[in-house]
Structure formats: C-alpha cells, structure tokens
Amino acid sequence: MPSLLILTYVGFVSLGLPDAVLGVAWPSLRAGFALPQSALGALLVGTGVGYFASSFAAGRLVERLGVGKLLTLSSGLITVAMLGYATTPAWPLLILCGLIAGLGSGAIDAGLNTYAASNFSARHVNWLHACYCAGAALGPLIATAALATTGSWRSGYAILGAIMLLLTTAFAVVKGSFRARAPAADAPREAPAVPIAAALRQRRVWLQIAVFFLYTGLELILGQWSFTLNTEARGVATETAGVWASAYWGAIGVGRVVLGLAIDRVGADRLLRMATLTALLGTVLFAVGPAWPGAAGLMLAGLGLAPIYPTLMSRTPARLGPYTVHAIGFQASAAMVGGALLPSLGGVLAARVGLGSIGTLAVVTAAGLWLLHEILVRSAPAERASGVA
C-alpha cells in the first residue's frame, strides 16, 4: 500500500479520536461550569468557526506544505486543544480551545477528502472514513473509562492529549518521506479551474451542500446527545451509556468497512438510497423507544449513516465534473455548519422543551436527508443532459 495512503488512514484516525468525546464529557463538564444545556452550542460553534476558516484554505495548505507537514501541524493544534480542555479553569478559554481544535481539523479534513475523492476508489474512501470512526469510537471509551476511574471529565481529555502528542511526533518524524505527491499514472487529471461563482450557480452543487449539512447534523445530534439523553432522561448507567455512544461510532466504522466491500456490486447511488432510508428508520426507533430499543435504533442509524459521507464525496467528481474542486470545499464547510448548528439547536430545545425533543429533531433531520438525496438522485438525468455531471 502506498505510503501516502497509509498516512491518510492514520490521519483519519487522529481526526476522529477527539471528536466524539464531548458527548460523554458534556454532563460532567456542564455541571462543573454550572452551564445550561444550550451552552453546548457555544462550544460547537467555536469549533465550527475554526474548522470553517481552515477548510477554505485546505487546498493551498496541501499544495504548499504537503500532506505530511499539514498532518503534523494540524495534529499539533488538536494536541494543544485537548490539553487545554484538560487544564483550563474558565468556560471562555474552553471555547477558545474548541476554536483551536477546529482549526486543526478543518484543513486536513477538507484536504484529505479532496485528495481521496480524486485519487482513490469509493471503496478506499469508505475505508478511510472507517478509520475516522475507529478513532471516534475509541474516544468515548477512553473518556468513559477515565470518568468512571477518576470522576473527572478532564482526565479523559488529558489522555487524548497525550495520545495526540505521540501521533504528532510520529507525523513529524515521517513527514519528509511524503514530499513527492505526484498522482498515480492512472489517476484522473485535474480539471481546468472554474470560477467559484460558476459552481454556485449549479443546482446539484446546492443539493449536495444541503445533503452534507443534514448528514453531519444528524450524525452529531445522535453522537453528541445520545449519552446525555440516555443518562439524564432514560435512567441508563454512565458506563452503559458510554459503551452505547462508542458502539454508535463503531457501527458507522464497521458499516463503512463492510459496505465498502459491497459498493462495487450494489452501486453507489443504490447504496446511498438504501442507507438514507435505514438511517431514518433507526433514528425513529431511537427517538420513540425506551433505553434498549432506543439503543438498537441508535446502532441501526449508525449502520445507515455509515456509507453516506464517504460515498457522496467519492461521487462528487462524476456528478459535478469541473466544479468538483470548489464543491468538495463547499461540502466540507456545509458539513461543519450542520455539525455545529443542528446539535446546538438540540441544546436549545433540550433546555426549553426537554431532552425528549432531541429525538424529534433527529427524526426531522433524517427525513430531510432522505428526501433531499432522493431529489438529488432523481435530478441526475436532466442535469447530465446539461453537461454538469
């Protein structure tokens, strides 16, 4: 396996490792700082602003620094953020740490996705995102074990900071091996540049932006709020709820590995249509069921969500052609906005209506995701005729 692909796999693990920890840490963190449920939105928005700022510059950063250096710098920023979470005494400083974490994640996430969509098969793109889920599944387990052992949410972030420091050091050691970044001989050639305004005039670009917005919003509504909903509203023990939160991310990761093997046989668009419907059914079960049926729905939703993000990314060059270079950045940014705003809306609803409203929000988001993707697929013939895809 090419060394750059190996580095990309490890990079996605490092991206996922800290992302799902907040869902486990939030109840204790909120109590420690005497915050309302809606305060989660400020932290998510702070992280999102950092992500948004760096993701737009991802292409230039990859070109100037190379993937190895960018991984090193980004991982270093995430390390600083994790150690900041573990030590900061003030809520505003915690939001600043979220901003730093977003800056670290945004550039490398968009940069790696752009490279992967243009150079790797849909199977590999699914497996790359499975590595993200492996990190995202491990993070809550670490945080839950640390919380159960020490009684402090900070210890989990301290452990993650130490792990990220080791990864940053490893990336720094090997970064020089990846200076040559020429594409493979059979890789598609880069399309001529087109203006951003031209890309924004394409209907399918906006449909994909909306789908990415809803997908990531749904993924993080379930990932960030399931632990709190289970422990504070459904009476589930902390350890059990932590395992379920980790299993949700694990289901997404396993689904990406398994469905990555099946995608060539099933077909990308057919797989996506099945996946969005499965995610909707699982979300409904999670929303209406008590603890154990709800947990089963959470896992089913994870399996449904599994192939959506990477497969949509891998389909972007075929669907959008010369607009791809801009569209992937738009999609990554839309995903960030959805991942910040929709879980934040969940916090507002939880504070004003009750934690049960989280399930309702998840169902509405899942239904919108299914509907918009159906419109996207059914619009394909007319737009192909116009030469867009």
Domain ranges of the chain: 3-175+194-385
Q: Is the dihedral of CA 144, 148, 149, 155 positive or negative?
A: positive
Over residues 360-383, the pLDDT tens digits come to 999 999 999 999 999 988 876 444
Residue 302 contacts by C-beta under 8 Å, 6 or more apart in sequence? 222, 247, 248, 249, 250, 251, 252, 255, 282
pLDDT of residue 177: 58
Over residues 164-221, the pLDDT tens digits come to 898 888 888 877 655 544 444 444 444 445 666 777 778 888 988 999 999 999 999 9
Over residues 190-204, the pLDDT tens digits come to 444 566 677 777 888
Instruction: Report pTM.
Output: 0.72
Q: How far apart are CA 190 and CA 240, in angstroms?
A: 48
Q: At residue 75, does pLDDT exceed 60?
A: yes
Residue 96, exposed/middle/buried by CB under 10 A (0-12, 13-18, 19+)?
Answer: middle
User: By three-state DSSP, how is residue 34 classified?
Assistant: coil
Q: How far apart are CA 275 and CA 215, in angstroms?
A: 11
Count the neighbouring beta carbons within 10 Å of the beta carbon of residue 336: 28
Task: Return the CATH number of 3-175+194-385, one of 1.10.760.10, 1.20.1250.20, 3.40.630.10, 3.40.50.720.
Answer: 1.20.1250.20
- Match 């991982």 to its residue by tokens: 75
Mean pLDDT, to the nearest integer, of 158-162?
A: 93
pLDDT of residue 122: 75
Computed on alpha carbons and rounded to an integer, the radius of gyration of the chain in Å comes to 20
Mean pLDDT, to the nearest integer, of 255-277?
A: 88
